[in-house]
A and B are shown apart, each in its own frame.
Chain A
Amino acid sequence: MKLPADQQPPTGMPPVAWSNSGELLMYSDIKTLRNGSALQPGQVLPPDTVRELRRAYYSAVSHMDDQLGKVMAALEASGFKDETVVSFWGDHGWQLGEHGEWCKHTNFELATHAPMMIRVPGLTDKGMRTMAYTGRLRKCLLCAISIIKAADFTKTGSGQTYGRKNSNKGPF
């Protein structure tokens, strides 16, 4: 298990860009290790702790991959695999000691670059890759809920804007 390539903040980083990794401090072992002190720019956790946390994260990813495999196997067993679109995504990236940062609370590339995968039967069987970002999550969740409403519009036609007069409650 390797340490991050660079555990120091970027040169010229404005102080506001820094997150003190407060979320990590919520875990009792790290809180004890740090005597309750959050991480300031330039401070790093002991090398073995960094390795342990990174190993645990990779382990969690493997576990999640296995769980998703079970869902896909169940979908296949149900007989609906070839008529079901599956989207799998995370709402943020994750820092594992790069720049000395942990968790997600920054605008660095590693915190904003998030997973988003879509499986469409007959179209993505050979795989595809793209890049995805977080930050617009709240609206996206509303959108996901609204897909049911969108489906209702199918009979009306597509490509139209559906206005709602005298409403200031937003699109949905």
Chain B
Amino acid sequence: MQTAEHIDLFPTLAEIAAGVTIPPCPMGAAQLTTALCTMGNSLAPLIRGTKQEVAVASFSQYPRGYQPPHSDSGGSDAEAVGDEASKYTPNPSPCLDHKCTMGYSVITKLGGTEYRYTEWCDFNTKFHRAPDYERNVGTELYDHAADPGENQNIAHEPSAAKVVAQLSKILRRGPLTGGGWGPYSEATDQEY
């Protein structure tokens, strides 16, 4: 599996079009004072055929309207929260200034098997514009080898406990090249 992310586009184009190597971002608060860095990988080695793989995981995130931990209230798009008039009108991101629930997701391989793993948790509560993974409202694990259509969530099966523990660590650390999930000074001071 070769994975690539949109964050790879910048270092790729910089290298190919301008001959510039963009350095990886530092973790944590140092990122805030770094003028030029990338959280992605240049795909130029893949394009030139000098490497078969530049990254082993790809990350995504998506917001929801706030759902307290241990609630079974169900999912609602963050965009759909509000009065009737705004029910179907997308709102760019209520997570910027209000508490919400955020779903963090990673696709990667462990022991030769491809998995998608997702944790839904508090956002903008304990940490400003950052997740509190301890306040979890849902975890998903799909085995893409056995279940490419993602029809069975096996996150809570005892046999998957070891895989879940490994994937949780990978997910919370975030993009591997540098910078983690972003310049969150409080949250990224924690060791994942």
Contact = CB atoms under 8 A, between A and B. Distances in A.
Interface of A: 5-6, 8, 10-20, 22-23, 25-26, 31, 38, 40-41, 85, 87, 89, 91, 98-99, 105-109, 111-112, 114, 116, 118, 120, 123-124, 128-137, 139-140, 143-144, 146-147, 149-151, 153-154, 158-172
A124 B43 CA distance: 12
B36 A171 contact: yes
Given A154-B19, A161-B26, 8 more contacts: A8-B151, A16-B64, A16-B120, A131-B4, A136-B175, A144-B10, A151-B18, A158-B20
B35 A163 contact: yes
A129 B9 CA distance: 15
Chain A binding site: helix, strand, loop or mixed by DSSP? Answer: loop
B103 interface: yes
**Dominant secondary structure of chain B at its interface with chain A:** mixed
A107 B6 contact: no
Contacts of A107: 60-62, 103, 105, 116, 118, 140
Given A158-B19, A167-B33, A128 B118 contact: no
Point out which of A6, A31, A132, A172 has the most chain B C-beta atoms below 10 A from its C-beta. Answer: A132
Contact of B13 (A5, A87, A108, A168): A87
Interface of B: 1-10, 12-14, 16-23, 25-26, 31-40, 43, 46-48, 58-62, 64, 67, 72-77, 79-80, 87-90, 101, 103, 105, 107, 116, 118, 120, 137-140, 142, 144, 148-156, 175, 182-183
Contacts of B76: 20
A171 B37 contact: yes
Contact of B6 (A91, A130, A163): A91
B72 A19 contact: no
Residue among B13, B19, B62 having the largest count of chain A Cβ atoms under 10 Å = B62
Contacts of A109: 107, 116, 142, 144, 148, 150
Given A133-B60, A162-B35, A20 B77 contact: yes
Contacts of B31: 170-171
Contacts of A20: 75-77, 80
Contacts of A149: 36
